[in-house]
Amino acid sequence: MKRAVKIAVVLLVVLAAAIAAALLFGAEWASPFSNDAGERAILFDIRMPRVLLGACVGASLAVAGAGLQALLRNPLAEPYLLGVSNGAALGTMLAFVVFGNYVFARPLFAFAGAAIASVVVYSLAKTRAGMNVERLVLSGVIVTTFLSSVIIMLTTLLDAARLRSFTFWLLGDLSQATWSGVYLSFGAAVIATAILASQSRALNLMMLGERDAVDFGVEVGRVRLLVFGASSLVVGAAVAASGSVGYVGLIVPHLLRLAVGSDNRIVVPMSAIAGAAFVVLADLAARVAIAPRELPVGAVTALLGAPLFIYLLRKN
Amino acid sequence: MLEAREISVQYGGRTVLSDASLCLSPGKITAIVGANGAGKTTLLKALNGSVPISSGEVLLDGTSLASLSRGEIARRVAVVAQETESRFPVTVREFVLTGRFAYGSSFGWEDAKDLEAATCAIAACELENFKDRLMNNLSGGERQRVVLARALAAQGRVLLLDEPTANLDLAHQTLMFRLVVERCATQQYASAIITHDLNLAAEFADEVVMLAAGRIVHKGAPREVLTAANIREIFRVEVILDTNPSSGKARVTQVY
């Protein structure tokens, strides 16, 4: 417990530093002490919601990744790679097509899409003998490509201007951040982190094997429902606000496990803090790398995540 | 203590265990033997309610398992399953502590009692020098001892062991059985052990249950069940039966 507190303090300091850097730096330096209206608008109206949304999205995706990995006994399980993010993206697009500008329909549909994709991938990957790495990854690929095709078909319904912003959004983009998106993502991230952290001791057993978990007292069905439910909630809210930012749920829990071990009572809650810092920094890189132009943050996380995925796949 | 009454188990419509009745009593060791695929592991899983039974019932201290939560069962029945390999880096101590799950809240941290139980179990299985090592860096036999240590840390009064000696050298096979015998003799544990080693069954078990095609075909004292005729019937091999000169128990020697 003491160790968890120490790690939390270190990560919170890193997160605070990342948020401060992301607020101050960008295409232009913005001073928090400036009286210039333009500079204050950049800092508080443009960067602040974007940075905070990035933190919420990072926390959401990382904590969902940590939970899914332990539940599925697979370090490669990640919302983006399993097709859960694409399920949420399709849900968001459907809400957009059906309900237009009624924005609160989007996270609801995103949640439903993420939940359905989770259940489908799980059902495809699970056999009576258990679930191996290849089968889970392949199931994720199948679901992801199927959902991508449907999303592409839906984009043909969009006009040219919307198509560009949707393409950016699909790749994972924080530039459209709004305060309502921040509040919603923050609420979802807090609820999901609390649910997943409450199951983290059970996840320590699930991580070793489903039979181990049953034998030593875990109500496996309940834990599975809570983890899938919480990760769908949080991925739905994150994707509705910022599109599919990939690999965060892979990179962050993996690095944490290297640093602090596999105890989910530490890995799960700390993934939320570390994930927040990671996406804030990745988005800062996306803003300054080719300034004044911007990259989608999803492109930066994928550049870092794809090599790690290959490394983990080979290792497994 | 733990009693199965005419239980059957089906997987996808196929019956893998039929009308099995068995009683595990305090202080006694029951060895479960049989050919591969005879239903031994299924019987063990049914005894702690980890597979659903299609008929019959299992009673734990007189209460049907169906009416108990997983946590209540886990506090009274500890399991040594065939060892599995985790893809996550887990230390021996962390692994053993997972055996204490049923005693705490889902997020809670272990208390002094949990830590003491784990420390004692690690010492009993001669694993003190390994406790900070990662499970994935241990040999199969070392991992098997850790799996036993976790079951001992769980402190269930019924011990169910699924081929616990499969990866062990001769010294650790004896250690494993002696630990179980000692728990049964001094703390009145009841235990069931699946084993392919008929000599270990003859040496340490109070009762031997012989399974074939999902049915219990012979049950009784080792000398009554481990006969040349029964072994030929179940395993289709010829054996010579005599007496172990050091222990006076039955000794099985296969004729090749």
Inter-chain touch A263–B88, beta carbons under 8 Å: no
Arithmetic mean of pLDDT, A189-193: 96
User: Quick one: average pLDDT of B59-81?
Assistant: 94
In the stretch 181-200 of chain A, residues with CB closer than 8 A to chain B read 197-200
Question: What's the whole-number average pLDDT of chain A?
Answer: 87
Q: Are strands B77-80 and B158-162 parallel, antiparallel or unpaired?
A: parallel
Average pLDDT estimate for B51-61: 93
Render the burial of B33-62: b for 16+ CB within 10 Å, e for the rest: bbeeebbbbbbbbbbbbbbebbebebebee
The reply to whether residue A73 touches residue B99, judged by beta carbons under 8 angstroms, is: no
Residue of B nearest to A313 (CA): B87
Name the token pair of B256: 């090749």
Do B106 and A263 make contact, defined as CB atoms within 8 angstroms?
no
Please check whether residue A1 touches B, CB under 8 A.
yes
Number of Cβ within 10 Å of residue A156's Cβ equals: 7
Average pLDDT (B218-240) is 92
- CA B21 to CA B43: how far, in whole Å? 10
B14 close contact with A: CB closer than 8 A: no
A209 pLDDT tier (thresholds 50, 70, 90): confident
Segment B155-162 mean pLDDT:
93
Q: Rounded to an integer, what distance in angstroms lies between the CA atom of residue B161 and that of residue B11?
A: 22
Distance CA A3, CA B220 (A): 53
> pLDDT per residue over A104-159, tens digit each?
788 899 999 999 999 998 888 887 666 666 788 888 889 999 999 998 888 887 77
Is A262 in contact with B89 (Cβ distance < 8 A)?
yes
**pLDDT for position A138:** 87
What dihedral angle (degrees, nearest 10) is formed by the CA atoms of A40, A41, A47, A49? 120
Cβ–Cβ gap A202/B102 under 8 Å? no
Q: Which pLDDT band holds residue A11 (cuts at 50, 70, 90)? A: very high
Taking residues A259-280, what's their average pLDDT?
A: 94
What percent of chain A clears pLDDT 90, i.e. is strictly above it? 42
Of the two residues B3 and A129, the one the predictor is more confident about is B3
The residue that leads in pLDDT, B80 or A136, is B80
B101 with A201: Cβ contact below 8 A: yes
| More confident site: A115 or A27 | A115
pLDDT of residue A98: 81
User: B115 CB near a chain A CB, below 8 Å?
Assistant: no
Q: Is the dihedral of CA A250, A255, A256, A261 positive or negative?
A: positive
Rounded to a whole number of angstroms, the distance from the CA of A237 to the nearest CA of chain B is 25
When pLDDT is averaged across residues A186-204 and rounded to a whole number, the result is 95
In a mutational test of the B interface, the residue from A215, A257, A314 whose CB has the highest number of chain B CBs within 10 Å is A215
Q: Where residue B83 falls among pLDDT bands split at 50, 70, 90?
A: low
Q: In whole angstroms, what is the distance from residue B152 CA to residue B137 CA?
A: 22
User: How confident is the model over B146-175, as a mean pLDDT?
Assistant: 90
Average pLDDT of chain B? 91
Q: Which one of B74, B90, B105 has the shortest CB-CB distance to A216?
A: B74
The DSSP line for B23-87 is EE-TT-EEEEEE-TTSSHHHHHHHHTTSS--SEEEEEETTEEGGGS-HHHHHHHEEEEPSP---S
What percent of chain B lies above the pLDDT cut of 70? 98
The predicted structure's pLDDT at residue A297: 87
Which value does ipTM take for this structure? 0.89
What 3-state DSSP class applies to B193? Answer: strand
Cα distance from A316 to chain B (closest Cα, Å)?
Answer: 7
The whole-angstrom distance between A117's CA and the closest CA on chain B is 24
B12: region left, alpha or beta (phi > 0 left; psi from -120 to 50 alpha): left
For chain A, positions 73-112, list CB contacts with chain B under 8 A: 73-75
- Asked if B242 contacts B251 with a C-beta cutoff of 8 angstroms, the reply is yes
Q: Please calculate the CA angle A6-A192-A202 and round it to the nearest 5 degrees.
A: 70
Q: Which is more confident, A291 or A250?
A: A250
Alpha-helix runs per DSSP H in chain A: 2-24, 37-40, 48-72, 84-99, 105-125, 133-155, 160-170, 179-198, 200-206, 210-215, 220-242, 248-260, 264-288, 297-315
A261, B89: Cβ pair inside 8 Å? yes
Q: Centre a 10 Å sphere on the Cβ of residue B211 and count the other Cβ atoms it contains.
A: 24
What residue in B sits closest to A264 (Cα-Cα)? B107
Instruction: Name the token pair of A201.
Output: 């001791």
Closest CA to A279 of A52, A55, A15, A11: A55
What are B93-137's pLDDT values in tens digits? 999 999 999 998 656 788 889 999 999 999 999 899 999 999 988
B231 pLDDT exceeds 90?
yes
Of residues A157 and B148, more confidently modeled:
B148
Specify the higher pLDDT residue, A193 or A308. A193
Q: Does B76 touch chain A (CB under 8 A)?
A: no
| DSSP code of residue A83 | T
Helix (H, G, I), strand (E, B), or coil: what is residue A102? coil
